[in-house]
Amino acid sequence: MSADTRRPLRPTRQVATQFHVVAIPAAIALAAVGAIAAEHVHLPWIVGAAGGAIAALLTVLALPSLPTRRATIVLLGIGGLGALRHASFAGNDRSWLLVVWAAATLVTLVLVDRADAETSPALAGGAPLPSRTYETLRVSAIVALVVAVAAVALVPTVTARLGRHVWPGLVPNIGNIMNAPTSLRASNHLDLTTRPELTDAVVFTVDASHADFWRGETYDVYNGSSWTRSAGSDEPTVLDRDGNTVTVLPAPNDVGAANGTDFRQTFHIETAYSGVVFAAPSPHTVETDKTIEELPDGTVRAATNDQFGDGIGFGKGAVYTVVSRSMQPTEASLRAADAQPVPAAIRQQYADPAGASPQVQQLAKAITAGRPTTFDKIKAIEAWMGEHTQYSLNAPTSSSTDVVTDFLFHTKLGWCEQIASSLVLLARSAGIPARLVTGFAPGSADALTGRFVVREKDAHAWAEVFFPGIGWQGFDPTASVPLAGDAHSNGSWLETARHHAVAFAVVIALLALLIGATPELRAAARRRRARRASWSASTLHRLERIGRKAGRARAPAETPREYARALAERLRDDRLVTVGEALDRDAYSSGGAPHDDRAAAEAVLTSL
């Protein structure tokens, strides 16, 4: 290679110090997105947060092959796509993390642009830039105001005009159906001996004005280990539709379902398959593109065959809207309901204590003795169960022929299905019409959207009791039953450790990183202290900082005097030469630089 074509050596690129501060908000932004993403894929949120933060720190601080500004913007773009991705599909109740992401992104943008601007030399004699904090706060306040106005003005418009109250969603395949949790599959049979697996996976979200239990199916026949429907109650009727609106026939004698107050809810399916139309009791109309069928007990579900060609249930992304009707009774009105007779058909189907063992029947009589009304009897049963039983997902599965008897008299530990079944049988033994209901608890309200986020772990069972003139009213005995001490664990520390293995691993890795970095951190602290102790060292540090801002870092072999001369030429400020001379004098003469020289040098550096 000839001398003419030889490329000059370039110093290794370093991240300018102005960009260091950018790393903090960038790490927060990515940590927020990482936390959302981790939850979406069922990992501990700390894993995602740590991963996002570490990725951001490495990108901003330790990626010299890319311009820092560009790398940071690309990073924010990836974070933004992640935020959109998980806001769109996760449907979880972590939307407040999106606010964190947005705020951190805004601060990052301000600081990265500011850092980029600071790489230009300052105009000699010009006005200094406002402080980073002031600029960031000012811009953040203004942008937050504009964003708030825009969001308030645009979001309802966009979602109201283009948002869907009915949407077909994906068509579930056979794999989706087979792998769906039992709580989402329409069934005529509920097994009480199978322990439910309750994960954090989001099942659906609900737009509704208030929380309610999202009812799915009801059962009336108990055979000791499971619930089924009585003959004739399991024969569905395909409901007529007017466009996308399907009118549900109110169950016989359910006054609330026919004449109650309207309550509108829109369900967004987030799981791969749901065969049941979940809704607050009792559905009156359903807006959906699916064919809907109804059982005589009021259970509403997607048609179980595909004769209409619109699928066999709700897939991911499907949206349907339900208007429910129910009475809003008070305790007084419930007590007063006993004044009317229970219809014979209801009594015959739902008040027959045949499924209850003699022990259960005797217990019911003992609990309800002296209670004048149906409502009081139910409350007495709930109170007794609260005192004598405990909730536990780790309760032993019953091997006896009667799950309820085993629960009430032996283990006294059970989950919602066993607890609710007990209430139903105790009520029936007291002559009260009752039935078992499965569905989902209200879920948690999303802080940003107000939507109720319902997860697999919200799957629930409760009881409905019939009140003449009012209709079916839900009672949740599980709420009265205290948690057992091992509700979240089987007591094995090994199991606990395994459950939180990933989180433990991240914590240990961070600790190891911290311990490994300790010598370097201590050395940096020593260097800082040394700089503070020596005037020449601290002043040289200031000079180097000014030089770096001007885009001229000190070469390793460059003396302070040489460096100051180079900076004086670059910044066109001859005063810097005297700074270099003062530095050399202070470092190498026995008495150090005179006080006046030091003061003059500091004044020069301060003016820059």
Partner 1 sequence: MTDPADARGPGAVLRPAPGTATATAPHPGPGDLTLTSIVLFTLGAYGVAAGAATGQEAVVAVGVFAFTLFLVGLVWPIMTIARIDVAVVAPTDSRVGEKVDLRVTVTGRAARIDLRVLDPAGDWWRTASPAEGVVPHVAMRRGVFHYVRVQLRSSAPLGVFVRTRTIRVRLPAPITVAPRPAAAAPVLESVPDDHRALGAPLLVRGGTDAVRAVRPYVSGDPARLVHWPTSARRGELVVREYEPPPALGVALLVDLRGPRPEAIASRAAGIGVATLKAGGIVWCGTCDDAGPAGEIVSDERELGRQLARAIAGPMPEPPPGWFVEVVHL
Site of interaction with partner 1 (CB under 8 A):
69-70, 73-74, 76-77, 80-81, 83-84, 87-88, 91, 95, 98, 102, 105-106, 109-110, 112-114, 116-118, 120-130, 135, 138-139, 142-143, 146-147, 150-151, 154-155, 158-159, 161-165, 167, 268, 317, 319, 446, 448-449, 451, 572
Closer residue to partner 1 in complex, CB, 449/496 = 449
Close Cβ partners of 76 (under 8 Å, ≥ 6 residues apart): 26, 29, 105, 108, 109
Closer residue to partner 1 in complex, CB, 12/88 = 88
**Alpha carbon distance 338, 371 (integer Å):** 12
Through-space distance between the first and last CA atoms of the chain, rounded to whole angstroms: 44
Closer residue to partner 1 in complex, CB, 88/330 = 88
* Shortest Å, Cβ 548 to partner 1: 15
- Chain centroid to CA 60: 28
CA nearest to 412, candidates 429, 424, 398: 398
- Tell me how far CA of residue 599 lies from CA of 541, 580, 595, in angstroms: 16, 13, 6
Closer residue to partner 1 in complex, CB, 41/151 = 151
* Shortest Å, Cβ 440 to partner 1: 20
CA nearest to 267, candidates 423, 91, 391, 417: 91
**Alpha carbon distance 559, 577 (integer Å):** 12
Closer residue to partner 1 in complex, CB, 74/483 = 74
* Shortest Å, Cβ 429 to partner 1: 47
Closer residue to partner 1 in complex, CB, 146/514 = 146
* Shortest Å, Cβ 22 to partner 1: 11
Closer residue to partner 1 in complex, CB, 80/196 = 80
Under 8 Å between Cβ of 57 and 147: no
**Alpha carbon distance 266, 318 (integer Å):** 10
* Shortest Å, Cβ 57 to partner 1: 20
Closer residue to partner 1 in complex, CB, 36/579 = 36
* Shortest Å, Cβ 446 to partner 1: 7
3-state secondary structure 53-103: HHHHHHHHHCCCCCCHHHHHHHHHHHHHHHHHHHHHHCCCCCCHHHHHHHH
Close Cβ partners of 55 (under 8 Å, ≥ 6 residues apart): 30, 34, 75
**Alpha carbon distance 482, 455 (integer Å):** 22
CA nearest to 97, candidates 38, 144, 163: 38
* One-letter amino acid for residue 488 of the chain: H
Tokens representing residue 389 in the block: 């039983």
CA nearest to 375, candidates 346, 326, 336, 428: 336
* Shortest Å, Cβ 510 to partner 1: 29
* Shortest Å, Cβ 205 to partner 1: 9
* Shortest Å, Cβ 58 to partner 1: 20
Closer residue to partner 1 in complex, CB, 11/126 = 126
Closer residue to partner 1 in complex, CB, 164/531 = 164
Mapped onto helix, strand or coil, the DSSP state of residue 407 is: helix
* Shortest Å, Cβ 147 to partner 1: 5
Strand partners of residue 237:
294
* Shortest Å, Cβ 448 to partner 1: 6
**Alpha carbon distance 485, 504 (integer Å):** 23
Closer residue to partner 1 in complex, CB, 123/231 = 123
